[in-house]
Amino acid sequence: MADFSVYHGNEKEGSQLTSSRRYDQFLGTWRSINKRVHRHLGILNKNVLTEIFDFITSSHASWLSSHKIIDQIPTALLLAGVNTPDHSVIYGHLKKSILNSGGHVAVISPGANTTSVRNLVSLVVQQLSDDSFQQCGFLLDDKNSGGDSKVATCKDFDESNNISVNNFTPATRFSYLALVESYYSKVKNHCGTNVLGRNTEYKTLAPPTTPCLRSKRRISQPISHGVSTISPGSEISSESKPKSTVLGPLVIILTETESIPVQVLCDFISLTSLYAAGQIRGRSYSLPISFVFGLSTIPEFGFESRLNASTLSRLTIRRFAVPPPSAFLDVVLNEIIKFPGLHPTYSVLNYLIDGLFLCLDYSVKNFLQRLKFCMLEHYLKTPHPELLQSLELARKYLISLNPSDLARIVSLDYPSLGNHVLDNVTTSALATISPPEVINISSPPGTHRITHRSSSSSSRLIDKIIEYLENHLKLQYLIPPVLNWLLIIMTPLSVRPLGKNIGDLYRLWLKNGLVNAEEFNMTINLLNGVSKEHLLTAVQNAYEFLHQESSSLSRSKDSTSLWSSSVVTEGRICLNDLADATLSWHTKLSLACQESINKQSQQQSTDSEMSSTITTSVNNDNEPVKPIEFNTKRKISLRNLRQHLQEYATSSPNRSMSAISTSIHNTQWEITRKEFLRWIQIKLSEIIPPFNQLPLHEVFYGPSSIESGNNYSLSSSHEDSSIHSQLALSIRRRLNPPLQRCLHQALVNPGVYLQITDLKLSNSSSISSKLFDLCILYKLLLETSKIVNLYDWLMAFATILGESVDSQNPPSQEIQCRFLQGLAELQHLGCIKSTRRKVDHVIRLTWISGFML
């Protein structure tokens, strides 16, 4: 595996960043990207979360208005998709919204013990109770009330909790009866029993106890706050009735319903419905429970088919769908593209999306973590990460460098500069100048002239470098609106070879430029067949988008510091020019379309006149011209059929020659359309050329010369693509490594893998006593057959460690203990397993055979 090292070039004091400063610089950039990404992801999640929250709120309001009696439990089926690592974020936002509104939430994760109904109910009640104790303001205030609502402190809640919990035995402390007691007693104790409203039949529950503890049972007495106790059937005075306090909802969230056994889920729903409907012991109290069931599959297979009709009849089901993982990925890619600075290459981005995201987990959260690692590696390995800052800070950094470091930037660090505008005089002057600290005041006048000439050469080189950096920032500034402009033009196409979103176009541009892609030529050919109305509408929409984009950019001020005012100004001018050119082409296409329509109508009138003339002449002729007859009884090929139809068209008396001639020559619309499509190709090559054609592309896209050794060259696109492939391979080994191969490499030669000089072997097949016991045992295991004799293995192990052993001198107790410990470690790693026939033998597993020495 490639080592994860930090750039240690020709470091001098103040010329290179330390690893901690590099990490701090990366961390600032990543925080900005992460903040923007999560803000837009929250907007995407907000719609479905708002719908679920409104469903729970409306169901709870119905529970309050219906005298706290319901027949069915409100149930929200959340189709969360297969990106299970992201579910915790979605349910976390939902839980936070419910808690902020005064409700109580219990979230049952897949790792919880749900093997029985008792365990599941215990987990639910425990979370709901803990939530109600920790959250002081669990009561909702009515917006229409003008009076002061009574506020209870956390200390009061803890005291009432202890009183209610002590009434139950450990076996029933986390049951629904305890939840009812805890839920209603707090309202009665802190807000008065009149807060129960119309539920006048409520009584303090007598918790179930064993006969031996019945005499020791204490009756829960409400804490006196100057509020009289209300007996069943008594009336509530209007003066003492609070107007602004209601009970909060109880929400139970099962994140992965498929992971719960079917019988447990059915019994849990049936038991919960009894308490939600108030059908326990004839009392009319109830709990305002709502369900949120998360599903990774469709409900017909993952939920409804698993439950019987009796269980489904207890639920009021409503479906909600989370946007697909591709929608979240599009949001992330849009923000990455719009953010100036470091961008991933095609190989890296293609591997992160196609190799990991679409194959492993569909998780945007994991995708961001992998992208974060790739960016961190670039910051740690690039020679000059300071160039990724704003242009002003980059200029200050370049000015602080001495001429020899500037010459190194051109010759070694960024070879793409060598094939561009830098003249030989500047490079040679920089290469022959000594550092400034060597030149003192007593130097001869000629030296001062050389110093003056070197300073002017340095300033010219710095200006060139800043110009190249500005070109890259301008390119990144223009890519999002230009790609969206192209997407709008491709709207009439039902099949889009370039892709359906900006992320697909951006990946093709990273590969080798849009114009050079085969998919672009296919798109141009498809646009040739688009109807006039659809193409004109698409061009008009593209112009309106550019006009709106330019107007919004002129009104808004970007908070990022990497886009300087010059970049924004030049980019806005370029967008305005593109918008004006698009409008001009729309005018040309409209005129050509109108001219084509006029010619077509004129041609139709001419054809009708000629057809009437030909008909008259044919009627006057005694022997009319008969078309070529076609024998329908015999088989004919497609080629012969086409030839027959052409002959029939030319010999038909009703066929005018003008119609045939117009089908041969191109119309004005076709000529204008071809010119427009050719202009699109030229304009894209001019505005967004491939990034590897610009100097200093290693700064923003990588990799630098460190990635591929001293023979690094960017003379061709093939070499560049191979270098980026090497970078992608290095990242692949870290993000998704082949675990068995990595384990084999670490055990065979730990010195190379762990970068320990004392443990490095001259030959990977050799064995040294300096190695770890686990490594020695593994290398001996590779030399054996499938069935391994433990005694022979122990004797070989002791011999390598330096003991003279034979049948008369067995290994020492220390060697035997080390051997047994190594065997246990190998079995834990999956290298060996015991046999059932022979106690003194083990079996080597088959996957090791592929790594035999």
Residue-wise pLDDT tens digits, 460-482: 889 989 999 999 999 999 999 99
Residues sharing a CB contact under 8 Å with residue 697, sequence separation 6 or more, in sequence order: 416, 472, 691
Average the pLDDT over 744-758 and give the result: 86
Residue of 647 and 491 predicted with greater confidence: 491
Give tens-digit pLDDT for 484-513: 999 999 999 988 999 999 999 999 999 988
Confidence of residue 131 (pLDDT cuts 50, 70, 90): low
- Rounded average pLDDT over 297-322: 86
List CB contacts of 74: < 8 A, sequence separation 6 or more.
Answer: 55, 56, 59, 290, 291, 316, 318
- What mean pLDDT is reported for the chain? 76
Tell me the three state secondary structure of residue 141.
Answer: strand
Highest mean pLDDT among 208-212, 329-333, 613-617, 806-810: 329-333
Task: Identify the H or E element spanning 525.
Answer: helix 518-527
State the CATH class of domain 66-217+242-323: alpha beta
The pLDDT of residue 727 is 66
Pick among 2.60.120, 1.10.10, 1.10.287, 3.30.70: CATH of 741-851: 1.10.10
Looking at residue 433, the DSSP 8-state letter turns out to be P
Residue 487 · residue 541 · CB < 8 Å: no
Mean local confidence (pLDDT), 607-630: 53
Determine the pLDDT at residue 758. 85
Q: What is the pLDDT of residue 644?
A: 76
Model confidence at 420: pLDDT above 80? no
Tokens 């005041």 identify what position? 441
Task: Among 156-160, 198-202, 324-328, name the one with the lowest average pLDDT.
Answer: 198-202
Band of pLDDT at residue 568, cut at 50, 70 and 90: confident
pLDDT digits (tens, 9 = 90+) for 197-248: 444 344 444 444 433 333 333 333 333 333 333 333 333 333 333 333 457 8
pLDDT tens per residue, range 655-689: 544 444 444 457 888 899 999 999 999 999 999 99
Beta bridge partners of 630: none
The pLDDT score that the predictor gives to residue 672 is: 92
Q: Contacts from 833-837 at CB under 8 Å and sequence distance 24+?
A: 835/787
Question: CATH 3.40.50.300 occupies which residues in the chain?
Answer: 66-217+242-323
CA nearest 70: which of 194, 206, 249?
Answer: 249
CA–CA gap between residue 466 and residue 389 (Å, rounded): 11
The mean pLDDT value for 577-606 works out to: 83
SS3 letters for 10-68?
CCCCCCCCCHHHHHHHHHHHHHHHHHHHHHHHHHHHHHHHHHHHHHHHHHHHHHHHCCC
pLDDT at res. 433: 47
Mean pLDDT of 317-341: 92
Per-residue confidence band for 108, with pLDDT thresholds at 50, 70 and 90: very high
**How large is the average pLDDT for residues 737-760?**
86
HSE value, Cβ hemisphere, 13 Å, CA-based, for 820: 7
525-562: string of b/e by CB count within 10 Å (b at 16+)?
Answer: ebbeebebeebbebbbebbebbbebbeebeeeeeeeeb
**Phi then psi dihedrals of residue 294, to 5 deg:** -90, 135
Q: Which segment, 67-81, 241-255, 308-322, 420-434, is predicted with the most confidence on average?
A: 308-322
Residue 2 pLDDT > 70, yes or no? no
Identify the three-state secondary structure at position 290: strand
> Where does CATH 1.10.10 sit in the chain?
741-851
Q: How far apart (Å, rounded) are the C-alpha atoms in residues 101 and 290?
A: 15
Q: How far is Cα 266 from Cα 415, in angstroms, rounded to an integer?
A: 68
Residues ≥6 apart with Cβ < 8 Å to 721? 347, 512
788 phi, psi to nearest 5 deg: -110, 130
Angle at 559 between CA 556 and CA 560, to 5 degrees: 125
How far from each other are the two terminal CA atoms of the chain, in whole angstroms? 19
The pLDDT, as a whole number, for residue 53 is 92
Higher pLDDT among residues 460 and 654, named by residue: 460
Which residues, including other chains, have CB under 8 Å from residue 628's CB and lie 6 or more apart?
Answer: 644, 647, 648, 651
Query: Is residue 225 a contact partner of residue 240, using CB atoms and an 8 Å limit?
Result: no
How high is the pLDDT of residue 553?
64
Give me 808's structure tokens.
């008369």
Say if CB 106 and CB 251 are below 8 A apart.
Answer: yes
Which residues make beta-bridge pairs with 254? 108, 293
pLDDT at 554: 60
Which pLDDT tens digit goes with each residue over 718-746? 444 555 566 667 777 788 888 888 888 88
Q: Which residues pair with 315 in a beta bridge?
A: 73
- CA 476 distance to own-chain centroid: 21
From the list 62, 524, 620, 24, the residue with the least C-alpha distance to 288 is 62
